[in-house]
Amino acid sequence: MKVKVKIWIEDEEQNLIFGGGKTEVLELIDETGSISKAAQKVGMNYKKAWSHIKILEKHIEDDLVHTNKGQGELSGSSLTPKAREVIQTYKILQYDIKKYADKRYKELFLKDNKEILKIKEGEK
């Protein structure tokens, strides 16, 4: 057995602002150079992906994606330095929390190499 954690950031009204899904969309925009291709890869439409980006930009009060409207090689999207910073910071938070959760799980559930849940099941 192992512990699993999921990290996301909400605003005061408990609206999702940022998490793993939005991180993935931003990383795919960086990889593909396209919001629509990134959205397609995660199974959402362009409008929803753009809406997610705009919500996050509103909360951090900075641009995350540059869009170039043009033809051929001149068109596409790229991440701003702020977007890269947000992704990196989120990944640090995610790593630190996962590391702590793993450590604490072992302290609480794997005492003396006996899984506490298995011990409890045997007592029933």
pLDDT band at residue 116 using 50, 70 and 90 as cut-offs: low
Residue corresponding to tokens 């604490």: 104
pTM equals 0.80
- Is residue 28 within 8 A of residue 42, CB to CB? The reply is yes
Main-chain phi, psi angles of 14, to 5 degrees: 65, 30
pLDDT for residue 115 = 59
What would the pLDDT profile of 75-96 be if each residue is shown by its tens digit? 799 999 999 999 999 999 999 9
Which comes out higher in pLDDT, residue 72 or 107? 107
CATH architecture of the domain covering 10-123: Orthogonal Bundle (1.10)
pLDDT for residue 124 = 46
